[in-house]
Structure 1
Amino acid sequence: MSQVLTGTTAAQEEKSHTPLVEAMLRLHKNRTAMAGLVIVGIFVFLALFGPLIAPHDPLEQSLYNKLKPPVWDARGSMSFFLGTDDFGRDLLSRLIHGARISMLVGVVSVSISLFFGTIAGAVAGFYRGWVDVIIMRVMDILLAFPSILLAIVIVAFLGPSLENAMIAIGIVSIPRYARIVRGSVLEEYSKDYVQAARALGASDFRLIFQHILPNCLAPLIVQTTLGFASAILEAAALSFLGLGAQPPTPEWGAMLAGGRALILRAWWVVTFPGITILLAVLGFNLLGDGLRDALDPRLRD
């Protein structure tokens, strides 16, 4: 009898939680999501405290230490834990500083796409009609091009640099957010609370930004997390092609491009930047999938 009462009490307590708390509890139970959160946390930590952690200056060159493999030195200490590149620069230090650049790329590009995509999707879904047709046809045109190809065109027009790469990545990602927000706004528009607010004289601006968009945050949070992964990968691709960060900037894609000619005689120069990109993208994808499962009301017990 006591076990039944205990189970009933636990169920009642779980149901009494707010939707946000319930989502966090479901996220905590998702092992893959927590693994992604740990990976993302590590990269955020490196981005914030990279200069304090890195054992060497990422731009310091030393021809004496050129292409040193990641092995113990004669003194028994790991002076170059992951080896050095063809200019004698410490790979570990460059990877740590590269985390700051990759996180910056994610923040800037996702902010651009989130801001403009949210506005475009909200306006299209709220006003519908010819406004919806024009906005969504523009989004369809952008989606018709492969994202990396469109980013290359934009960077080629603006000029190769890390700043222009972030702008290009943000532009090509706008349609993803616009379509998500439009669908959510169309779903929320017909609900009673929106009609009640309209009957009370709420303006269109207030209806969109105070009543409708706050109820569209769940899919936006998921897409934002996944957008970080896409931004990091696309920035690395642009830098690999010479259109993003320029040497000697310690960016992961640029490090891959600089070491591709050494892959047969210095495998560590390209292996460790590639693994770092893989882990960063994997972490954000795992976290995004976990957030999607946690925030989806259809998966609630």
Structure 2
Amino acid sequence: MFKTIINAGQRLKGHANITPVMTSGTLNNLVGAEIYLKCENFQKIGAFKFRGAFNSISKLSDKEKLQGVIAYSSGNHAQAVALVGKMLDIHTTIVMPNNAPATKLAATKGYGATVIKYDPETESREDLALKIQEEQGLTLIPPFDHLDVIAGQGTATLELFDQAGPLDMLLTPCGGGGLLSGSAIAAKGVNLDCTVIGVEPELADDACKSFKTKTLHTVKNPATIADGTRTTSLGKITFPLVLEYVNDMVTVSEEDIIHAVQFSFFRMKLVVEPSGVLGLAALLSKRVVPKEKTGIILSGGNIDAETMAMILNS
């Protein structure tokens, strides 16, 4: 699997941004370690999701590309698939919840995708997408439970190790586990002794429960501010990968998440969405004690003005 991430990195060259790694003396002093922040908020569409979308869609056959693709997402995967479709001249259809952040919805439409909204309280996005897929003969590109998507997401960590050197610990946000499993495989491929920890909100702790019990748990439409982690559960592919490659899972409170967004903005001048700061939140709240050289994936920066204003004024 590590080789597939290396191959994905080659495929993404010239298409994905090489995102910066930021450091902060204030942060290092606060937590007593060297912290390296991989800023995927500067990736195309403002999140790591571009990596997995491009890697998976670019590998489709000519026939599949001609027929078009379908995806379901609360926002970042939606934008990523829509942009890749625009870049490769492939029609995209995206199933999005009716409460998706306005900025993510607008960007997805702006890239030319056909957006179909659904009510997450009464409808299943997976069922709706499968129905449309069958009717129109489209290829489904899921947000996390897909080997080519996972490999693409893992390239962010591969890039981080190239930029910062070997790390002793890596903290990664977790929703459906695509980024976490890809990151863990990449980290272990470079440094087998690197401790990889997944972080998710307390209100959406299905992955943490699944990891601790070794039994898949689910949660329905969790009310966390970190909208990118409102997945029902880990996937059939990502769950065993997380169990195999991840060392631990922790959760953070909504207050911890808000504080981390504030710290990113006021102290580091970085705009990071709530889902993107989970690793930083785990450090600042002392849910995780860092090792000497610790990396954090800041997974995205797509946050609407209303949410950002509420956080900054809290």
Q: Which has the higher helix share?
A: 1
TM-score (norm 2): 0.24
Q: Which has the higher strand share?
A: 2
